[in-house]
Amino acid sequence: MASFLSKWGKTPKPNQSHSKKIAKPKEKLTLRDPDDPRIVYKISDRARRTSLKVRDSEREVEVVVPGKAKLKQAYLYAKQNMDWINIQLESLPPAQPFIPDAKILLRGESYTLVRPETRERPRIDHVHKRILVPAPDEAAFSGRVRRLLIREARQELESATHYYADKLSKKVGKISVRDTSSRWGSCITRNGEGHISYSWRLISAPPFVLEYVAAHECAHLVEANHSTAFWNVCKSISEDVKPAKAWLRKNGALLHAVGAEL
């Protein structure tokens, strides 16, 4: 326990004999549990109490600590709740690692990852439900699969975004595709143009779900909130609002399992 707490370190006192101010080192705000790497402690000055949060994207539990002084208390709190932590993590969908012969979710269907001996370009065989990615070794294979999926996601999301933005007579300035952990999409407006960001994992969802998220973010170009007016705009350009929202509530963790390690 002592060694665990000591890893946070202490801020050194400035040298009083030196006339210049010594900048304090930036405090580390997160620490992984040395006894269980599935548990991560995060200092939050805004938190009022210690709490547990399952992070589907990382397949771990985050312990929110209300200030550095409460770290020991948070450590003990996590140990007292190990049964709950184990149940939550064990209930996550099985990992779908990017390794040869494994199956992963793509556009809502199961595809097999294949590592051919040839030097052809990575491609997707939709007829036989295969993703063919040549690579010199398995380490390179994983990265190339991820890049292929991100490329596919970008193409689909850019096309859908421009389609729905045109329906609303709005202009989109920038479209980004990232590996976000808490949002499937986000939208901000700068200088009259929309800047929209998406999770690449939407390429693993059924097409109607990806289309809905694009419509949802484009609706924010008109209403930057989730008011009744916003949902009216969203429903005016998408017929899949309810089923897509329901699918994401039920299967969001499944999308985060894609690419996760065993």
Domain boundaries, position 34: 2-90
Whether the predicted pLDDT of 20 surpasses 50: no
- Where is the domain boundary, 90, 125, 152? 90
Distance in angstroms (rounded) separating the CA atoms of residues 176 and 154: 8
Q: What is the count of structural domains for the chain?
A: 2
115 and 200 assigned to the same domain: yes
Domain-terminating residue out of 90, 116, 134: 90
d(CA 56, CA 199): 14
Least confident of 26-35, 145-154, 200-209, 241-250: 26-35
- Share the mean pLDDT of the chain: 90
- Asked if residue 134 and residue 241 are part of one domain, the reply reads yes
What residues contact residue 38 under an 8 Å CB cut-off, 6+ apart? 59, 60, 61, 85, 89
**Beta strand 123-125 pairing with 103-106:** unpaired
Q: How far apart are CA 101 and CA 124, in angstroms?
A: 14
Per DSSP, helices labelled H in 96-237 are 138-167, 207-219, 228-237
Instruction: Please say whether the beta carbons of 75 and 4 come within 8 A.
Output: yes
| 232 vs 21 pLDDT, higher one | 232
For the whole model, what pTM was predicted?
Answer: 0.82
Residue 166, domain member (yes or no): yes
Q: Is the pLDDT of residue 4 over 90?
A: no
Cα–Cα distance, 255 to 95 (Å, whole number): 10
Residue 119: count of CB within 10 angstroms of its CB: 7
Q: What is the pLDDT of residues 144-153, one digit of tens each?
A: 999 999 999 9
Tokens 């001996």 map to which residue?
117
Is 262 within a domain?
Answer: no
Q: How does residue 57 score in pLDDT terms, banded at 50, 70 and 90?
A: confident
DSSP 176-215: EEE--SS-SEEEEEETTEEEEEEEGGGGGS-HHHHHHHHH
Whether the per-residue pLDDT at 60 is higher than 50: the answer is yes
The CATH code of the domain that includes 221 is 3.30.2010.10
148, 241: one domain: yes
**Structural domain contains residue 12:** yes
pLDDT in tens, 215-254: 999 999 999 999 999 999 999 999 999 999 999 999 999 9
Query: Is the Cβ–Cβ distance between 41 and 63 less than 8 Å?
Result: yes
